[in-house]
């Protein structure tokens, strides 16, 4: 069987950067289960996996622009402690997850630098600007079960979808 939409996939993989540092796996492949066609993995990764069959082992590179985009200097902000008092409590070199009190949306940033008067925050994804070097082995591919599809997209695969498609049009 090959990987196409509505297939359950089990794969093992590692990811490295161009400098050889590990992003995922650290030399030992990690396992990933996903359903093809449901945005559960990086779109550029799924495009490269589509059409592969069980047992396939492959190496490929996902360029930064297809992965997490280019590194954007405009997403690096220097804030004085007067502008951002909470910056005093941040630790340089650490990632922070913040929650917007109004919308409750969460976002992450990296504390790039800190002095006695200000803090520099980097809102880029940690892999922005980096090509991803994958080694992948497809372990298992099977059709997704009806119950799995109903869970993934209840409006497309659930009972309501069946009933809607079975009804006659309201007008002709």
The model's pLDDT over 67-84, given as tens digits with 9 standing for 90+, comes to 999 999 999 999 999 999
Say if residue 73 is exposed, middle or buried (CB neighbours under 10 Å; 0-12, 13-18, 19+).
Answer: exposed
Mean pLDDT of 72-97: 96
pLDDT at residue number 155: 83
What does the alpha-carbon distance between residue 64 and residue 68 come to, in Å, rounded to a whole number?
A: 6
For the cut 80, the answer to whether the pLDDT of residue 168 exceeds it is: no
Tell me the C-alpha to C-alpha distance, in Å, between residue 53 and each of 7, 9, 44, 60, 157. Answer: 11, 10, 18, 16, 25
Widest Cα–Cα separation across the chain:
73
95 within 8 A of 110, measured Cβ to Cβ: yes
What does the alpha-carbon distance between residue 97 and residue 30 come to, in Å, rounded to a whole number?
A: 25
Residue 154 banded pLDDT, cuts 50, 70, 90? confident
Least trusted range by pLDDT, from 23-27, 99-103, 133-137, 165-169: 165-169
Nearest CA-CA partner of 90 in 71, 107, 115: 115
Question: Domains, the chain, ranges and CATH?
Answer: 7-68+129-156 (3.10.50.40), 73-122 (2.40.10)
pLDDT at residue number 159: 61
- 27: which DSSP letter? T
Residue 172 banded pLDDT, cuts 50, 70, 90? very low
Residue 163 banded pLDDT, cuts 50, 70, 90? low
Task: Give the CA angle between residues 137, 149, 9 to the nearest 5°.
Answer: 5
23-48: per-residue pLDDT in tens? 999 989 999 999 999 999 999 999 99
Mean pLDDT of 44-65: 98
Give percent above pLDDT 70 in the chain: 91
Nearest CA-CA partner of 144 in 5, 2, 46: 5
């Amino acid at each position: 069987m090959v990987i196409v939409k509505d297939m359950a996939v089990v794969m093992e993989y590692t990811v490295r950067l161009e400098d050889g540092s590990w992003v995922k796996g650290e030399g030992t492949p990690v396992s990933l289960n996903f359903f093809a066609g449901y945005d559960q993995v990086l779109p550029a990764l799924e495009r490269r996996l589509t059409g592969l069959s069980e047992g396939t082992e492959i190496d490929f590179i996902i360029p930064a622009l297809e992965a997490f985009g280019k590194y954007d200097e405009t997403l690096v902000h220097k804030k004085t402690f007067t502008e951002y008092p909470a910056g005093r409590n941040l630790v340089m070199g650490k990632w922070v997850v913040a929650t917007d009190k109004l919308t409750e949306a969460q976002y992450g940033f990296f504390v790039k630098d800190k002095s006695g008067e200000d803090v520099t925050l980097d809102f880029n994804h940690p892999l922005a600007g980096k090509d991803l070097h994958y080694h992948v082995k497809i372990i298992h591919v099977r059709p997704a079960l009806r119950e799995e599809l109903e869970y993934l997209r209840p409006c497309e695969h659930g009972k309501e979808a069946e009933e809607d498609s079975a009804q006659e049009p309201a007008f002709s």
